[in-house]
Amino acid sequence: MAHPTRALIHLDRLTHNLRLLQELAGERPMWPAIKANAYGHGATLIARHLVDVGYTTLCVAHASEAIQMREAGIRATFLLLSATLVEESVSIVEHRLEPVVCTREVASALAGAAKSMGRLATLHIKVDTGMGRIGIRPDELAGFLDYCAGLEGLRVRGVMSHFPRADEADKHFSLDQVATFRQVQEQTRGRGIDVYHLANSAGILDLPDAGFDAVRPGISIYGLAPSATIANPRVRELRPVLEWKTRISFLKEVPAGVGLSYGHSFRTKRPSLIATLPVGYGDGLSRGLSNRMEVGVGGHCCPQVGTITMDQTLVDVTALRGRVRLGDEAVLIGRQGDVELRADDLAAALGTINYEIVTRLADRVARIAC
């Protein structure tokens, strides 16, 4: 029996978004990000489609994600975006992954693992141009390249950086980063670097000079805007890939003045028809959304009421009395008739970003290609 709460993944919309972003990126290679279970959309499902439509390099956060893709039969180059530990080096070389490196210790460990296996370890060096998370300073790059060049079994394929503020309306900081990274590129030409890459989704949309040799789109391939302040009007052409739906599992008439769910955070103000949905924070529907969101039922927006629990939540469907039935569809994200509920709406209610809403979807919510 399938869990009635499911995520529908529209692969045709994914293809549409990829074409739009590729048009903006031009002829540059595009390396889509499928980290965090493809931003909650199902990494294996998304990766297979990306490879089928011609993408050959995919970005993940950790080696474990790439190895999972390898074991699922995904034939692609995997770029590891997060810093790795020395003890991961053997697995990285064994599975022919391309890690982001910014310490001599990891570079040395990769070289040692490669030498022991008779292989060549390929890596990308991260330069911190303003993210402040991982990476070496721009003025350290030449020395780092010299160090790597002295290690047998090591090949530096790329140099990269990342934007922390490209999704903001004010682009001054990001433009300074582009200028810094361009200096990095100029200063290291002739050092055997194949590819310099910087642009994320916001960079592709709003910073055309940030393309360099390859781009790394993330949230936008899934049809979600990096922020509400993206200037490029084509962001409105993105189509959300994910719809999150469930079904009504119980209906009950409740008198006025009755408390509902844990803590009775909601009390009925009138005789009410209340629907129970088999979805809760165990599925990724944040408890923080309690009494602060709407659900699509019968083509109408109905208020969620009471505390969202681990496996179930309640919706006031009084306005649909006589028109709603057990088993009817309920939409958390997606379209139903003229009603559209967006990940951005849930994010606004929760005081967070759309990234967090979709990546929270639990594994027990089936991802179904459609």
pLDDT band of residue 270 (cuts 50, 70, 90) is: very high
- pLDDT tens column, 43-60: 999 999 999 999 999 999
What does the alpha-carbon distance between residue 326 and residue 151 come to, in Å, rounded to a whole number?
A: 66
Q: What is the pLDDT of residues 289-310, one digit of tens each?
A: 999 999 999 999 999 999 999 9
Give the pLDDT confidence score for residue 45 in this predicted structure.
98
Percent of the chain with pLDDT over 70: 100
User: For residues 60 and 69, is the Cβ–Cβ distance under 8 A?
Assistant: yes
CATH 3.20.20.10 fits 11-232, yes or no: yes
Distance of CA 27 to the CA centre of its chain: 24
Question: Per DSSP, which regions of 102-257 are E strands?
Answer: 121-126, 154-160, 195-197, 242-247, 250-254
pTM: 0.96
Matching residue, tokens 């208020």: 303
Q: What is the pLDDT of residue 78?
A: 98
Say yes or no to pLDDT of 1 above 90: no
Q: Using one digit for the tens of pLDDT, what is the confidence trace for 103-145?
A: 999 999 999 999 999 999 999 999 999 999 999 999 999 999 9
Per-residue tokens: 313: 């939540």
Q: At what angle do helices 63-71 and 43-52 cross, to 10 degrees?
A: 70
Between the two ends of the chain, the Cα-to-Cα distance in Å is 19
Out of 2.40.37.10, 1.20.810.10, 3.30.565.10, 3.30.420.40, select the CATH number for domain 242-369: 2.40.37.10
Q: What is the location of CATH 3.20.20.10 in the chain?
A: 11-232
Q: Is 171 in the active site?
A: no
Q: What is the mean pLDDT of residues 243-261?
A: 98
- Active site residue: 126, 171, 262, 355, which one? 262
Task: Assess whether 147 carries a catalytic annotation.
Answer: no
Check residue 2 and give its pLDDT.
Answer: 79
Residue showing tokens 């496996």:
311
Domain with CATH 2.40.37.10 in the chain: 242-369
Residue-wise pLDDT tens digits, 174-220: 999 999 999 999 999 999 999 999 999 999 999 999 999 999 999 99
